[in-house]
Structure formats: C-alpha cells, structure tokens
Structure 1
Amino acid sequence: MTLRVGNAPTSWGIEKPSDPSYPTWSQVLDEVAGAGYAGVELGPLGYFPTDPGALRSELARRELELSAGVVMDVLHDAGTADAVVDKARSICALLQPLGTDRLVLIAGWTPSRVETAGRPGAAERLGASDWQRLIDTVHRVATVAAAAGVATTFHPHAGTDVEFGDEIDRLLDDTDPSLVGLCVDTGHARYAGVDPAALLRARAGRVNHVHFKDVDPGVLERVGQDELSFWDAYRQGVFCPLGRGCVDFGDVEGALGEIGYDGWATVEQDASPTGDSVPLDDARESLAYLRSVGLAG
C-alpha cells in the first residue's frame, strides 16, 4: 500500500514556537518539499505563519498540504485546561480554511515521566482525580475540534502521562470513540514496549492518524540499563532515520493494509537541533526507505 506521506517540524528539532537555534520556518518548508514529501504537520503554534491565507500561499508554492495540527500540553491541570482548549480553538481556526481535518493531541511532558520514559515499572501513574481531569480536557478539546470539522487523534508519547500499553487502553476506554481517535506513532510505541503493528490491529476502529518513527536499539537498551531520561535518550539519537532502527515496518505495512488505513502518515524523527544529524538528509533517507517497503509512492 502507498500512503500520503508528510514530515513535521520536530524532525528539524522544532519543539517550541521559536528558539535562536532553530532553522527558519521557510527553510523547513523548503526542505520538506525538497525531500519529496506531500505534506507537513503544523508543529507548535506560532512557528509557521498563523494567518491562514499566508500559510496556504506558502504551502501551495511548494506543492505541500497541511496534514494536521498539534496540541501538546499537560492535560490534567485544572488551572491550565481553559488555556489548552483556547489553543486548540485557535489551531482549528487555522486548520479549517486549509481543509485540514486532523488535530493531534498529546499530553505534555512532566518531570517525573520524562525521567522514567520507557520504563513502565518505574513510572508514576496519574491518580483517579488527575486522570479524570485529563479525560475531561481531552473531551473538551475534541468537542471544540469537531465543531470546526476537525477530528481529534490522541497520540501516546514517551515521557508523558499516556505512554504505556495500559495507559493507551485506559485512555481509549474512557473517551468517546465518536470524538477521540488514536494516532499510532511507531517509534513512541516501540519506546514504550508496545508493538505498533499489534496496536494498529487491536485498535483498528480508533486509528485515524499515523506517525512513522524508528528507534535506535542500542540507545533504547541504555534507556533500560542506565535509566536514561527521555531527553538524555533524545540527545543520544534514540530516534533515527527510518529503516535503521528496530521498528518492523514490514509488519506495520501489513497491519495498515489489514485495517484499510488510507489517511496521512507523518515521518517524525524527533531530532535534537544540537545533534549530529542533518535533517534534510535524514528526511530523504526516511522517505526512500518508505518507498522501498511500499509505504510511499
């Protein structure tokens, strides 16, 4: 099967709206297009232009589409929930005029979970009241998105309060399937000890977005042995170009075919802006690999 494949600002190390170390947004768009991708995710609100007309023009002249928006924030804090919902509303107001119909929702990093990422036995789990606040915020965001014609897709992520298999199951069981879908990120699943292809098959009815990411097995082994934090592993290059790591993309391809998935797939390398990798080279390598295994045209 072949999918529409995009990339994302995180592959260039973009995790915030701005930072002196970042390449310009125009360079990132040029390189996403130059590497051969069909689309790009929004990344943090404020990195790309926030005027819909301006962003549409910049994408069109590079023959790119906007595949999804992203909200990544702590979701169980009652004091910040309104701000998270307001951010989602602003992002959907940008997505809607561009015809983009996916909002990726991720629980933000928390210090304790960053330290225990990839180690389920050491991770501190949310208590009942915090978990319910998280679920309430997810539903509020998803309701705002749905009103704008945008479907929410929840992304389990290393170093956050929804990472491991039991947390993914709990999140899906506690949310309204008519409002909240699942984004399977092959790398974050593998980091958390979850088989991404098995997750795709088990939750076929909820999957409405996919991220392709690979994981360096040597760095992942050190996560367990040396108790590396998420950021330590990130800086050591735990996320590598597709095909170099331990994700079985042949099985992923099979699972996507079995469930009839036909949406976007976004390559995300989560690369450190101070690392040794060259994002454009890695983006090209990853797309070439996807073509070699029949996942991209």
Structure 2
Amino acid sequence: MNVKDLKVGCQTFTWEMLGDRFKGGPDDLLKAIADGGYAGIEITDTMIGHYAGKPAEFTAALKAAGLTLVSFAFGSKSGFTLKDEIGADLDIAKRWIDFAAAFPGALVSMGSATVVSEGPRDDKFTIAAEVYNKTGELGREAGVQVAVHPSSHHNTLLFDRADYDRIFSLIDASLVGWVPDTGHILRGRQDMADTLTTYRDRIRYVHLKDVDASGTWAMLGKGVCDTAKVIEIAGAAPNFNGWLVLEEESETAAADPAGAVRANRRTMRGYGA
C-alpha cells in the first residue's frame, strides 16, 4: 500500500484516561478530532455516551464532523478471563457488533485479556481465546470484522512476545484479526519488526503511539518507535485496511488532549500520511 493511500484516525482513550477530569461528551470528541485534521475515529464503549444504541444518530454526527468510524472498542470487567462470565461477555460483544454493523467497514476491537482472578495463567488464555473466537463468529454472522487489541496496562495477560505467541496459537485467524499497538509492543520489550512480520496476516489496522527507552509514554516521534518501519510492514500486510489510528497516553496529552492529538496529526504528515 502506498503511503498516500493511508488514512489517519484518532482513538478516544486520550480523553478517557482523564477519568472524572474530562467533563465533555462524544460530540466534544468528534469536534476535537475533526479539528485536529483526522479522517476517522475509534471510539470506546466508555466514551460513546448518549449515542449508545443509536447508530443512526451517531451516523449523522459523524457525517457532520466529516469523520468515518474506523472501529468500536470495548472491554469487560471480566478481563475476558472468567469462565462464568463468558455468556455475559458475549452478550456485550453482540450488542456492540450490532451497533458497528450500521457503519460500513467499521470493525469491533476487543480489549486485552486481563488477569482479574487467581488461578493458572494458562487457563486464562484458554478462556480468553474462547471469548475472542466466539465473538469472531458473531462478527462473521453480522458482517463485522473483529480484532483483538493486546495492551501493556496493569495485569494484562498479553504483554510480551510469549503471551502474543500463546494467544495467537489459540485464536482462529479466520475469525479474529489483530490491532497491533506500537506503544504496548515496545513496553513489552518485543522486537517490533519481528512481531509485526510474524503475525502480519492478522493485522487489520494499527494503533500508533510512542514510548521512550524506559517504556514511559511519549508523544509520537519523541520516543523509540520506528514509525516508518511500522508503516512499511503494515502497508504490505494482506488484510490491513489502511487505517493508522493514533492514540496518545503521554503526560502531554493528559494536560491538553486536543492539542496533543493535533500535534500527532502534524507529525504523521511528516511521514506522508
């Protein structure tokens, strides 16, 4: 894929991480992201607000802002690792898949499997894979692609390369894709190029963010992420849809989310995107 064909979106976690300090709503996010120069948005179950269950209204709001819904991201208090909660997790997944189905081309991104209970670690991989695969089946029935988004946040089950290898050995690649997140991959001390290349066929779209050498979040281009290499590998991946979704978690973003995502969009233009 040529760089000029890439599309740049923005993830709303930049605001979500503020918690109670964020007093706005989804319309404020749409405005900030559109004003920042983005073409698309990835919004979460936490930030969808009054548009939850109202896809027609959200469609109108996106159109007015000139934005495309790249993906709808959701997680679960179960961490997708509690056997007794599999049914409830699938009910939630079905709800958001049905919502995303109203937006042509939009994916559903499932958050990282997370350890929330005692018990053997391997059992948790098995449970998470069951949830991911069954959600993938629901997605296929609805015509919506489903992808998993591993993270490096507290108690994640999917942190280092061994974790990635384990979960991908259990996930049906025909049902569930992958949203590689450059910041989380680097924080897991993985070889970025090798991980992306090994699992390139699973890549659906990419989360781009940066960290410094110690693993602390940094503004895009201010850390150790080799963004050009990421674009090169993803651009050649057979199932990559062309979306680079920027997500910012640095202290700079905590102080001024709109300003930070605007700066990151300028940085991406330096790569031709």
Using the size of structure 2 for normalisation, the TM-score is: 0.87
Query: Match for residue 47 of structure 1?
Result: 48
Single out whichever of 260-269 and 134-143 deviates more from structure 2. 260-269
Query: Match for residue 102 of structure 1?
Result: 107
Q: CA deviation at 1:131?
A: 2.2
Residue 77 in structure 1 maps to residue 85 in structure 2: no
Query: Match for residue 265 of structure 1?
Result: 244
Structure 2: 5+ residue stretches without partners: none
Selected match of 2:209 from 193, 209, 213: 213
Single out whichever of 167-176 and 195-204 deviates more from structure 2. 195-204
Selected match of 2:226 from 238, 248, 260: 248
Q: How many equivalent pairs are there?
A: 263
**RMSD of aligned Cα (Å):** 2.4
Separation in structure 1 between the aligned mates of residue 105 and residue 236 of structure 2, nearest angstrom = 25
Q: CA deviation at 1:14?
A: 4.7
Single out whichever of 171-180 and 257-266 deviates more from structure 2. 257-266
Query: Match for residue 168 of structure 1?
Result: 164
Separation in structure 1 between the aligned mates of residue 254 and residue 140 of structure 2, nearest angstrom = 40
Separation in structure 1 between the aligned mates of residue 251 and residue 133 of structure 2, nearest angstrom = 32
Q: CA deviation at 1:245?
A: 1.1
Separation in structure 2 between the aligned mates of residue 153 and residue 126 of structure 1, nearest angstrom = 25
- SS of 1:61's partner is helix
Q: CA deviation at 1:217?
A: 2.9
| Maintained 8 Å contact 2:158/2:164 | yes
Query: Match for residue 195 of structure 1?
Result: 191
| Maintained 8 Å contact 2:25/2:47 | no
Q: CA deviation at 1:111?
A: 6.2
Q: Which amino acid aligns with 1:251?
A: K
Separation in structure 2 between the aligned mates of residue 57 and residue 142 of structure 1, nearest angstrom = 28
Q: CA deviation at 1:126?
A: 4.9
Single out whichever of 42-51 and 87-96 deviates more from structure 2. 42-51
- SS of 1:184's partner is coil
Single out whichever of 175-184 and 125-134 deviates more from structure 2. 125-134
Gap change, CA 1:125 and 1:30, over 3 Å in 2: farther
Q: 1:106-145 maps to which residues of 2 (within 5 A)?
A: 106-110=111-115, 126-145=120-139
Separation in structure 1 between the aligned mates of residue 152 and residue 111 of structure 2, nearest angstrom = 10
Selected match of 1:288 from 252, 266, 270: 266
Separation in structure 2 between the aligned mates of residue 42 and residue 34 of structure 1, nearest angstrom = 16
Structure 1: 5+ residue stretches without partners: 113-123, 221-237
Deviations 1:156-183 (A, max 9, x none): 1113111210111111111111101111
Gap change, CA 1:36 and 1:213, over 3 Å in 2: same
Query: Match for residue 223 of structure 1?
Result: none
- Ranges of 4+ aligned residues in structure 1 off by more than 6 Å: none
Residue 11 in structure 1 maps to residue 14 in structure 2: yes
Query: Match for residue 27 of structure 1?
Result: 28
Q: Which amino acid aligns with 1:239?
A: W
Deviations 1:29-70 (A, max 9, x none): 100000000011121256341201110011110000110011
Q: CA deviation at 1:27?
A: 1.1
Q: Which amino acid aligns with 1:142?
A: G
| Percent of aligned positions that are identical | 24
Using the size of structure 1 for normalisation, the TM-score is: 0.81
Q: Which amino acid aligns with 1:143?
A: E
Separation in structure 1 between the aligned mates of residue 213 and residue 131 of structure 2, nearest angstrom = 35
| Maintained 8 Å contact 2:16/2:46 | no
| Maintained 8 Å contact 1:14/1:43 | no
- SS of 2:29's partner is helix
Gap change, CA 1:91 and 1:271, over 3 Å in 2: farther
- SS of 2:220's partner is coil
Separation in structure 1 between the aligned mates of residue 11 and residue 189 of structure 2, nearest angstrom = 24
Q: CA deviation at 1:155?
A: 1.2
Separation in structure 2 between the aligned mates of residue 259 and residue 53 of structure 1, nearest angstrom = 33
